[in-house]
Amino acid sequence: MKIIMHFKQKMLIRFKKLCPSVPLCLRAFSFAPLCLILAFCLFAFAPLLLPLPVKAQPKHTIYFFNPETNINNFASLKIEFDTYLSKLGEYQLQPFNDRDIFEKSISGKKDGILLVSSWHYKNLKEKFPLKAVLVGVFNGKSTQKRVLSARKDTGNPGFFKGMNVASAGNKEYTMNILKEILGGQGEDALSAIQIMSVPKDIDALMAVGFGMATAALTSENSLLNLEKINPKQRQQLKQLGKSGEMFLAIVAAPADAEPENRPLLEALAKMGGAPEGESKLRMLGLEGFRALSASETEALKK
């Protein structure tokens, strides 16, 4: 206490020498309250001295659902895409594995675009005002056919009853394609067909080769890949039927919000031109995207 009093006396003497015209009452003014007042002022007005916080921009989202693929690691897919997209803007990928949840989530949304199968898009456009903008590309093609393959070639409709079909697509999608391929000859047996879900087309073909499935529903490209990997196994497979041409993945935007989503559409369209972007797209079985032609847009409306 004596040390503090001695310090205050010395400060008053110095203040008196520097400011002789200041009244004595002010010279004797205690420094402790003054410090408190200064501290209060600094605390009260400090926010005014700080820079204003920057409001975060809302993210534009790629809403992804594709019944043709059976992706078993959505967390990895999202991380890979988000890491790449974040370098281009406030963009993110939101994958879904359930059709109903996906459709409820996109209802009324204008803050993003849809990445869906062409088969699903034709259903969605009846429910939501959408505009198809881009189509996926693989090996230079934007269309594909689905092929039903087995180790036994038969024209007997009874062969399909109780058949176990390996497919990377979900059950609804697989059954629709089987109905198209089999037509009348296997329609009665469709209800008895069992679907074996696998991660990729190549897994479906391997399942047939190892006797785990009776047949496999895959893309034509997967059969070409099998021929490179295992020519002998490819030769053992017989084609039971083939679907019509179908577009690869479709990128669509809300019809009344396409301009707002144009930067994201352009970023997605350029992904295939960058090695890092193409590697992400290959996780979806694609190599890139291109704009839909007028005739292709019309075909999607049918």
List pLDDT tens digits, range 156-214: 656 677 789 999 999 999 999 999 988 766 567 777 889 999 989 999 999 999 999 99
Q: Which contiguous run of DSSP H or E holds residue 97?
A: none
Task: Please give the pLDDT value at position 263.
Answer: 94
pLDDT bin (cut points 50, 70, 90) of residue 114 is very high
What is the arithmetic mean of pLDDT over 122-132? 93
CB atoms within 10 A of CB 161: 14
Per residue in 74-99, pLDDT (tens digit) is 899 999 999 999 999 999 999 999 99
Per residue in 212-226, pLDDT (tens digit) is 999 999 999 899 999
Interstrand relation of 164-167 and 215-219 (parallel, antiparallel or unpaired):
parallel
* Topology alike, domains 60-139+248-301 and 146-244: yes
Q: Which fold has domain 146-244?
A: D-Maltodextrin-Binding Protein; domain 2 (3.40.190)
Q: What CATH number does the domain located at 60-139+248-301 have?
A: 3.40.190.10
Question: CA angle, 94 as apex, 196 and 255 as ends, to 5°?
Answer: 105
Task: Please give the pLDDT value at position 162.
Answer: 77
Query: What are the structural domain ranges in the chain?
Result: 60-139+248-301, 146-244
Interstrand relation of 238-242 and 112-116 (parallel, antiparallel or unpaired):
unpaired
**pTM, full prediction:** 0.76
Strand, coil or helix: 247:
strand
